[in-house]
Amino acid sequence: MKIYSTKENLQIVYEDNHIIVINKRVGDIVQGDQTGDQPLSEVVKEYIKEKYNKPGEVFLGVVHRLDRPTSGIVVFAKTSKALSRLAQAFKERQTEKTYWAIVKNLPEKPKDTLVHYLKRFPKKNISKAYDKEIPESKKASLSYEVKQSMERYHLLEVDLHTGRHHQIRVQLSAIGCPIKGDLKYGFDRSNPDGGIHLHARKLTLIHPVKKEKMTFVAPTPEDILWNLVNIK
């Protein structure tokens, strides 16, 4: 059963006067799109408005996004100053992002760095991976390590070096390791909640105002498979 985030059940990882860090649920959309579904950004605004009894419009800046079927860490800015500084930090790759992915098939190497050239096809909302650069492609790089193996599935920890469209999904699929539930990139069936087993586990950044290095960790969703592989 799908459970979307509301102002009552919001999973807050960290909050101060400048930023709020949320553990996004599977199915939450970070920012409004053509579906018309209420985005997580609006839910967080409702939460702030109610908690602090704020009159009028609440400011909340979207700094980065996660795919709708993905869960995990999302940072929002509560001031325009925090938004501009965080946006710059993400643009200049001054952040460290670690994901957990549960995949079918064990990679050939227990750890490796993958480099592909990804070309996006907007009409189908997919990206394709190529070994060599082709027109309109962008270089994509990530490192992975196998953290745990079960009978049918394997837990990979993934560190992103670039931020491309569907990057982890398409690069893992390209080495024959599609993410559980990811029909779009080669898994054979969908998950009951429509999500995929990809979780933005950890994010390290420099606080936009305090200038301190901070690391945020998001618990995995309550799910039989995540509970099996979870490394406490």
Residue 173 DSSP symbol: H
197 burial class (0-12, 13-18, 19+ CB within 10 angstroms)?
Answer: buried
Could you give the CA distance from residue 12 to residue 67 in angstroms, rounded to a whole number?
Answer: 19
Per residue in 98-127, is it b (16+ CB within 10 Å) or e — as a string? bbbbbbbeebeeeeeebebbbbbeeeeeeb
Distance between CA atoms of residues 194 and 214, nearest Å: 32
List, in order, residues 6 or more apart from 185 with CB less than 8 Å away: 126, 166, 169, 170, 172, 173, 178, 179
> What is d(CA 45, CA 39) in angstroms, rounded to the nearest whole number?
10
Question: Is residue 131 annotated as part of the catalytic site, yes or no?
Answer: no
Instruction: Give me the catalytic one of 28, 67, 182, 223.
Output: 67
Q: Which residues are catalytic?
A: 67
